[in-house]
Structure 1
Amino acid sequence: MKNMTRVVKLTAISAALLAVYGPVHAADDEVSQLTKPDSSVSVGLGYWTEDRPQLGIFDGMRESGAYGLLDANIVKRDDATGTWYTFSARNLGLESRDLKAEYLRQGNIGASIEYSKTLRDNPHLFLTGLRGIGTTNLIVSGAGRNALPRNEVELGTTREGTTLGFYKNLLPGLDFNVSFKNEEKDGTRLWGRGGAAEFAVEPIDSTTRQLEAVLNYTGERLQLSGGYNGSWYDTHNTLVDTIRQGDNPTVLNNHFFLSLPLDNEAHQLFLDGGYNFTPSTRGRFKVEYTHATQNERLPTSSIPGLSLAGAPSRLNGEVNTTLVQLGLTSQVTRNFSLGANLRYHDADDDTPVRRFVQANARCNASECVDNTPFSYKTLTGKLEGTYRLPQGYSLTGGYEQREDDRRIPVSNANGAGGRDTQRVVPMRSDVEERTYRLQLRRTLSETLGGSLGYIHSEREGSHFISAAAGPGGAPSDLINPINIADRDRSKWRLAMDWTPLERLSAQFVYENAQDEYGHSQARPFGLRDGSAELYSVDVSYKLNNDWKMSAWYSKDLTKANQRGQRAEIRNRTTGALELRAAEKDADLSDAGESVGLSVVGRATPKLKLGADVHMSLNRSKFDERIIRTAPDPVPGVAAVGPLPDINTRVTTFKLFAEYALRKDSDLRIDLIHERWKTDDWTWQFANGTQFVYTGAGTSAATFTDGTSVVANQRQISNFIGARYIYKFQ
């Protein structure tokens, strides 16, 4: 693929040379470019004037200051043997960087090695008395228990991956590829402790390994690709022990343990293929089988008194997944083509059901916890046909049916009333969805074409199996789960492509979707309806041979109406929180707008200039209100109004100038101005008071954790960078 990309790129360059120097010189230059590809190395320095915690989450330039700019792309070819040597490096002066070296003798043998480092910094600053951050032993501060002094803490993770690849041509049409990747992930991530809002930090120290070996066969009619995929996840931390400052560490009940993901592995065998029955008919197939296990010793089993007596020390988790897919496409007649696809997916969870937590002799509510393996089978069939009509029209119609057979999780023992204590929300054993598609295309003229499509789907299923509390009991049993609820969806899509001039082109897309969810008095909670709209316009214009510009605008709007229940209501008279059932209605919406303009061109034969402006606005609305309380009416219950909107705006201006010092070297200057602004209230209350983590307990003053979060809601920074670019062959 890389060689193909290189050839296409060089062919485009030679086509441009052909127009200037004529066919003879262009042909010579094309051969020269293929055998002597361009290479370049750039060295420079950049400077950010201010910290950028939000927009610098991934790029390794979060803090203000100077950064090295070093990139390289070196390509060499041995004409005598047809061997390519390539080396690429990106962002070598930054913490986030990529390097790759490759050796390839075309049609014979090749090898590669690749290294990458990726950062993910939390954009917030934490003021906390928590001690032991980054380790598996955390000491939690408490206001009434010798509170620890608060420190400024930043959280983030780092991924470092190394990939080795090997390629060998075994026979004509038969290739072998193998790759192995090792990735180390370290750092800290925001976490929580207990049922109340109490600050904790997850220590991350894990290794992920992946191995893939593939045989590819390409024949005149038959093409096959088969092999093996393996993955291994190993974590060096399995259990985090938290204790409050001043508590006696010898008392087990003073410790609060937090579990981490366990080691696991998966092995997959696969075979994909295609066969050309005739020049107009082709069949395709895919077969995969995956065996995944999780059998690490449970860390809780090594602490006396922590685990349930007699509970197993290992989960013995096992999931076997089978995938079979068949497809056929055919040009039945000159004007009619047909495609069919059948897909079978079976996820079989063979993990044994065992009890790990039991609070008393008889299980009620959540006092007993068994693992709940969940298996399902999905069969999907699809049929689609396209017919070419007169006057440039074409009509496409399709039908798809999906059937889910879901195994209902069952625990070892039942709770009160003989009901399964492990089922928190209602379940369905069978879910079926039917989808109809219709699309009309037409080329209106040589410069204008478009399409109009309509999709309608209907989802329904078997009767609901109640949750643990039984019909009409706990609020969780009244939920209409979004993923298996009855739903009707209709979607329209209009697309236009206009090229009135050779220099001007424009594309327009409009989409509209409407969802209606089935709900009843027995299960009124959950989504009731929703909608989504999208507008998108892209325009590009070539001013002349030296200058071109592009502009775009997009707007999306997603809405949903949701019915829920709230357990705590504040009493107007006393100000206390009362445990009362109250239904609430919420109209949720999320709107985004984005607009951009880009101009690039040559001011002189040696000077290239470019400018880019991008602005985006996202607005989230939470129109939530209480509509009924039980008992109804409830004296003294405060009215609840909508939460404030959250608005986030990002604006970026970029300018660059690239000047040719000599034929083989350039000087590039980059200027960037960016600003990020939000009124997100996640980490503060409506009155502007800063949110503070508080722990569980009878007295907030005694058990206060005291951690607060600093979220900078307005960030502005400027960047200037200079690079020297050297080009050679």
Structure 2
Amino acid sequence: MDSNNTFNPRLSVITLALLAAFGGPAWADDEIDELIKPESTVSIGVGHWSNDRPQQGIYDGMRENESPHLLIDADIVKRDDATGTWLRFETRNLGLDNREFSGEWLRQGNIGIKVDYNRITRESPQTFNTPLQGAGTTNQTVVNSGLATAPRRDLTLGTTREQTGLSFYKNLLPGLEFNVNFKHEEKTGERAWSPGHAVQFVTEPVDSTTRQLEAALSYTTKKWQLRGGYNGSWYKNNNPLVRVGYTGAASNTNPTYLSFPGDNEAHQLFLNGGYNFTPTTRATLKLEYARALQDDYLPTSGVTDWPAAVQAAVGPDKLDGKVDTRLAQFGLTSRPFKNFSLNASLRYHETKDKTPIRTFSTAGQPYNATAPDYVRNSYKTITSKLEGTYRFAEVYSFTAGLEDKRQDRDRPLRVTGAEKDIVVPLRSEVDELTGRLELRRSLSDTANGSVSWLHSKRSGNRYKRALWDHSDDIGLGGLQDVRNLTNPLHMAKRDRDRLRVSVDWSPLEALSLQFSAEEGRDKYHDHSTMVNGLDKGTNRLYTIDAVYTATDALKLNAWYSYDQNKAEQSHYRTHTTGGAGGGFGDPAFKYSDLQDTGNSLGLGLRWEATSRLDIGADLEFFRSVSQYDQDVVPLDAGGVPVFPTTANLSLGAPDIENKLLRLSLFSVYTLDKSSKVRFDFIHERWKTDDWTWQFADGSPFVYGANVNTDGTTVYTKPKQVSNFVAVRYIYSFR
């Protein structure tokens, strides 16, 4: 299925390629017709998993083992030789929840239409045992955990997306084509949710509609290639507000209202093109203008049963959001000399936030236009790139490139009285310069490879002063200058280096090897004692693939991958070990050393055992380990971290290890020219000690932080083992 819902009518290319490859006096007309005549296939079978698969069955529609699964696939293609008309019907997983199918009618070089349907399911791997009433609706009630008589039930949450698409193609004139694509999506289901102010379990009733439309004209000549048109999207949330009430709670019986993203829409005009000045020089163009709007009314206008202080708040009844985006990009590729090629581009991108600056909710206070809750965030980026490649000694080429990216950002301002304060201390200018070098060896029968190095340096102006009210923090008090308290990842000063080596080697005619290695290091600056942000990061990736052709009937393959990502982060904090009355503690500095490591291994076999029997086997193993080492270090009177002291706290969470082993075996037996039978067996083992939804001792997570909780229990299955067996009958015809 075309996941982009884009209609591609050029099936005639297949015909032309086959004629070019096989045409000639050595081929008779009937032999050519047999080669290009389309083949259709229908497969019907049944499969069964021995146990539930909450983790591995999240997306494949086979989470439960309650009954056998019907396996139906089909690809039916017909062609009318007289008119050059193609008719195609394709379906995948027709017997499962995540099924899809499409139908297509095409008259070569003239007109075509395509209709498709795609159902995507996503089931939660957790099971929630809860007394929550009204789960999945817009009116839910949290039952206090002290009410032992409250009935409980198990909930397995999930969402379903049903996508329907329609595409149309028409050739208007030689070189001029018209395409229109429309997609309609309905998303429904339930997800785990929480009011945010407390550890409480409620469900998010998902019910939304998304529509997308693209209409484009394409014009192609020997010199020109142009494509322009319109893109539009419309989003509608059918559940604007959820009311959460409480039963049996002594401290709070006021309901909580939870809102969803408001209805919105976006419209874009675009033009992409290219012009061939000469066979070796080409220019490209990309222009876009888009406007996104969010003018949905706030869903709280009719609410009457929340606290009087909140009802007294006065504000606008809708956001009136408006964001304009402009993009202009120009490129030029040329080969001015035989062994030298050049690539240059210039890109301008601007996002302009035109949403009114307003206050939407200030409990017990009237609307105040000078103290808004909403602030704008606009920015523009200019990117220029120049790259050249020189070829020498027949098989070598050397590439050098330079990219300069300059960004100007609006600092979010908030009006307070007669002054304007920076909300967060962002930079207004961010510049990044990147250089790349690459040496490549190619066109060899036995060995090809490349080595490349990239270095980038990001800088910018100083962070703007902003004020932070620390009047409640022991040892600080009053308004503090937080110019150096944040170092955002996307604009922090940073040096980055990347090294990549790849080799493609065939030491024997029957053996081919591919190897690649990547190393990367990031170093962040602008750090002082009181800083939130990354210090440095590293990443590495090593892969090796091997294919061995023992005989024409036996092929073996193997692969291995190792990846590791590290990040060292530090930030100012106040821990709760030394504050009076258990409140904020003494100022301290927190260090985090985070690391993710993954190992993947695969082995495969394909064997044509006899003229009728094909056998295959695949073994896959995956293991990942996530580490969370954290330390809190006190500061001395001058604000300098103290190493080491007995007051240092180790807050590192336990490591998380995930393992997956999957063995897949299959055989295909040919009954006759049109019929085959396929047998599949899969052994799957998944294991984790993830503490996200369970404690270190294996006990389940329980919602129970305050009186307004219902004691909902979250169950996960840390070890899941299941076997799958399936048999299919495959019929082919022309």
1:39-70 Cα shifts (integer Å, max 9, x gaps):
01111100110000100000110001310001
- SS at 2:500 equivalent: strand
1:240-273 Cα shifts (integer Å, max 9, x gaps):
1111114699x9x701111101000011110100
User: How many aligned positions are there?
Assistant: 710
- Equivalence for 1:710: 715
- Equivalence for 1:608: 614
- Equivalence for 1:590: 596
Matches within 5 A, 1:630-649: 639-649=649-659
Structure 1's 186 and 368: CA in aligned 2 closer, same or farther, altered over 3 A? farther
1:119-161 Cα shifts (integer Å, max 9, x gaps):
0011100111211111111111212467733321111000001
What runs of 5+ residues in structure 2 fail to find an aligned partner? 1-6, 471-478
1:652-675 Cα shifts (integer Å, max 9, x gaps):
100111011111010000100111
> Deviation of residue 394 (structure 1)?
1.2
1:304-359 Cα shifts (integer Å, max 9, x gaps):
45456441101110111111110000001001100101111111110000101224
Q: 1:673 aligns with which of 653, 663, 683?
A: 683
- Equivalence for 1:354: 358
1:591-626 Cα shifts (integer Å, max 9, x gaps):
111110111121000111100111011110111111
Matches within 5 A, 1:28-39: 28-34=30-36, 36-39=37-40
- SS at 2:34 equivalent: helix
Q: 1:389 aligns with which of 384, 389, 392?
A: 392
- Whether 1:690 and 2:700 are equivalent positions in the alignment is yes
Structure 1's 728 and 192: CA in aligned 2 closer, same or farther, altered over 3 A? same
Structure 2 distance, partners of 1:442, 1:592, is 30
- Equivalence for 1:403: 406
Structure 2 distance, partners of 1:67, 1:590, is 36
- Equivalence for 1:556: 563
- Whether 1:82 and 2:84 are equivalent positions in the alignment is yes
- Whether 1:63 and 2:64 are equivalent positions in the alignment is yes
> Deviation of residue 447 (structure 1)?
0.8
Structure 1's 598 and 40: CA in aligned 2 closer, same or farther, altered over 3 A? same
Q: 2:229 aligns with which of 222, 227, 230?
A: 227
> Deviation of residue 703 (structure 1)?
3.4
Structure 2 distance, partners of 1:268, 1:363, is 35
> Deviation of residue 429 (structure 1)?
0.7
- Whether 1:531 and 2:538 are equivalent positions in the alignment is yes
CA contact (8 A) 1:370 1:412 kept: no
- Equivalence for 2:733: 728
Matches within 5 A, 1:317-716: 317-359=321-363, 370-390=373-393, 392-413=395-416, 418=419, 420=421, 423=423, 425-443=424-442, 445-469=444-468, 473=480, 478-521=485-528, 523-570=530-577, 579-629=585-635, 639-695=649-705, 700=706, 702-716=707-721
- SS at 2:273 equivalent: strand
> Deviation of residue 236 (structure 1)?
0.6
- SS at 1:254 equivalent: coil
The one-letter amino acid paired with 2:224 is L
- Equivalence for 1:291: 291
The one-letter amino acid paired with 1:532 is N
CA contact (8 A) 2:175 2:219 kept: yes
Structure 1's 410 and 256: CA in aligned 2 closer, same or farther, altered over 3 A? same
CA contact (8 A) 2:489 2:534 kept: yes
The one-letter amino acid paired with 1:714 is K
Structure 1's 686 and 303: CA in aligned 2 closer, same or farther, altered over 3 A? same
Q: 1:111 aligns with which of 110, 113, 117?
A: 113
CA contact (8 A) 1:301 1:307 kept: no
TM-score, length-normalised on structure 1?
A: 0.91
> Deviation of residue 470 (structure 1)?
7.2
> Deviation of residue 586 (structure 1)?
1.1
1:408-446 Cα shifts (integer Å, max 9, x gaps):
11234359xx563x72x4211110000000111124953
Structure 1 distance, partners of 2:622, 2:363, is 52
Structure 1 distance, partners of 2:214, 2:311, is 39
Structure 2 distance, partners of 1:115, 1:179, is 13
Structure 1's 629 and 688: CA in aligned 2 closer, same or farther, altered over 3 A? farther
Structure 1 distance, partners of 2:10, 2:667, is 31
Structure 1 distance, partners of 2:41, 2:229, is 37
How many percent of aligned residue pairs carry the same amino acid? 47
Structure 2 distance, partners of 1:130, 1:358, is 30
> Deviation of residue 463 (structure 1)?
1.0
1:157-209 Cα shifts (integer Å, max 9, x gaps):
00001101111000000010111111000001111113232222111100000
Structure 2 distance, partners of 1:14, 1:33, is 12
> Deviation of residue 37 (structure 1)?
0.7
CA contact (8 A) 1:530 1:561 kept: yes
The one-letter amino acid paired with 1:256 is T
**Structure 1 stretch displaced more, 74-83 or 22-31:** 22-31
- Whether 1:47 and 2:41 are equivalent positions in the alignment is no
- SS at 1:662 equivalent: coil
Structure 2 distance, partners of 1:13, 1:649, is 50
- SS at 2:649 equivalent: coil
- SS at 2:451 equivalent: strand
CA contact (8 A) 2:634 2:648 kept: no
CA contact (8 A) 1:569 1:637 kept: no
Structure 2 distance, partners of 1:494, 1:635, is 45
Structure 2 distance, partners of 1:682, 1:322, is 41
CA contact (8 A) 2:345 2:384 kept: yes
> Deviation of residue 637 (structure 1)?
5.4
CA contact (8 A) 1:597 1:614 kept: yes
- Equivalence for 1:213: 215
- SS at 1:32 equivalent: helix
Q: What do you get for the CA RMSD once the two structures are aligned?
A: 3.0
1:555-606 Cα shifts (integer Å, max 9, x gaps):
000001011244443579x996764433211110001111101111210001
CA contact (8 A) 2:670 2:677 kept: yes
The one-letter amino acid paired with 2:340 is F
CA contact (8 A) 1:519 1:528 kept: no
1:68-118 Cα shifts (integer Å, max 9, x gaps):
001100000000000000000100000100100000000000001000100
- Equivalence for 1:281: 281
> Deviation of residue 501 (structure 1)?
3.1
- SS at 2:301 equivalent: helix
